[in-house]
Amino acid sequence: MLRRLLPREEDFFALFERHAALTVAGVQQFVKLVAGGQNVRALAARIKEIEHETDVITHACVERLHTTFITPIDRDDIHRLITRMDDVMDFVESASERIALYELREMTDEVRELADVLLRATETLVTAIGGLRNLKKTQVILDACIEVNRLENEGDEIMRNAVAKLFRETSDPLLVMKWKEVYEALESATDRCEDVANIIEGVVLEHA
């Protein structure tokens, strides 16, 4: 009877996977948003909806953590993993909200490049997170984590060049400030992807 009342271990993995898939969908919407500066408000609204959906999953995961006696991986790792995953979508939503609020319509090459890096990072995390269910293909998971770390470094370089270009070529200080905030939000999103990858790597090595 008690076994029937306990949430199944794989429920956590299902929540991770659903969250990761939604995050990719959110970043895809952001890529569309910065592709041409069209339908900005509509796309920003959709990104906000996705961000809310990921919040719901995060809260469900945390609640389940408090009601589950036996967890498939360490409790702290589950909590850290889902919260860092949630941070990614929070920063994407922050970037899209700023573009909409500041009425930025002429997109920069750099914001497109940062969005592309972020999309590749979130797509790679889907592979890493999907491997957590059985931890049999450890090298596939670790390779994905390494790739996310590489993409974070790529994003850092784009960010540095983007900010330097802003100060060098943009005469309007308000415009500099607006784009810098957008860039920083995207960089933070990519940083959180790296955090997620590092947590996953730690879980894999612990269970190896």
> How is the chain split into domains, by residue range?
2-207
SS3 at position 1: coil
CA distance 193 to 40: 25
Torsion of CA 21, 204, 144, 11, to 10 degrees: -10
Give CA 27 to chain center in angstroms.
8
CA distance 122 to 31: 13
| pLDDT score recorded for residue 38 | 82
| pLDDT score recorded for residue 2 | 37
| pLDDT score recorded for residue 37 | 76
SS3 at position 135: coil
CA distance 25 to 42: 15
Per-residue pLDDT of the chain (208 residues; tens, 9 = 90+): 334 444 454 489 999 999 999 999 999 999 999 998 789 999 999 999 999 999 999 999 999 998 888 888 999 999 999 999 999 999 999 999 999 999 999 999 999 999 999 999 999 999 999 999 888 889 999 999 999 999 999 999 999 999 999 999 999 999 999 999 999 999 999 999 999 999 999 999 988 7
CATH topology of domain 2-207: Methane Monooxygenase Hydroxylase; Chain G, domain 1 (1.20.58)
Which residues 6+ apart lie within 8 Å of 74 measured at CB? 203, 206
Task: Using the CB atoms, write b or e for 95-107: b if 16+ within 10 Å.
Answer: bbbbbbeeebeeb
Half-sphere exposure of 85 (CA within 13 A, CB side): 36
Ranges of beta strands (E only) in the chain are none
Q: What is the pTM of this model?
A: 0.93
